[in-house]
Amino acid sequence: MKKSELRSLKAKKAWVQDLIKVFTQYNSDPQCELDYDSPEELLVATILSAQCTDKRVNIVTKKLFKDCKIPEELATWSLEKIEAYIFSTGFYKNKAKSLKFMSQDLVDHHKSKVPQKLAELIQLRGVGRKTANVVLGECFNAPEGVVVDTHVGRLAKRLGLTASENPVKIEQDLMKVIPKEYWVRFAHWLILHGRGPCKSRKTHCEKCYLSDVCPSSKLNF
């Protein structure tokens, strides 16, 4: 690594420490907004959350989790029955396949329990790295990476923590500068901030507690 890259990395690490202090001051314990009672239920909810609001997912899973034992019964349901339950979350046909096949894999290969290793989780059909890290971080406090959704990717770039648009590269950039003990919380902070004042189409820098230090703040120009 070049000296200039080392200096840049050192500066970003220091910048992240400043961000952590500010985020902690305003929200010391950010939480996942998906409702669940087990790692298996969170896995289902996270799959459903793709291109869908947590609020809508919670409405859908409230009935689904009441009517269906996860994953044993879900593994036996027809795709049509699953689709009827999850229709309002969007992309319901692909999500139904992911839920059914993931449930079958848990039942057949993991005694109906979510494995606690990333390598095993991403072998489940319908489960990618982001979904796996959500469950590992929330349920086992053992993330093997930083969750990068659309909010995290957008805000990481606005805050100068990455220059990439690629989720894999963004995650790599964030893992280099965020202390591992903050991987889960930092992602939550960015997600919540992206849903709040730092929206995609219109930012509200005048309401943002990061406006004084954010390199993208309109108030700094």
Which of 161, 172, 166 has the alpha carbon at shortest distance from 17? 161
Q: What amino acid positions are annotated as catalytic residues?
A: 130, 149
Look-up of token digits 């982001």: 130
198 - beta bridge partners? Answer: 203
Rounded CA separation 162/174 (Å): 7
Q: Which two tokens stand for residue 125?
A: 């059909």
Q: Which residues contact 43 (CB under 8 A, 6 or more apart)?
A: 102, 114, 127, 131, 135
203 - beta bridge partners? Answer: 198
Tell the burial category of 99 from Cβ atoms under 10 Å away from its Cβ (0-12, 13-18, 19+).
buried
DSSP-H helix ranges across 51-141: 54-67, 79-86, 92-109, 118-121, 129-140
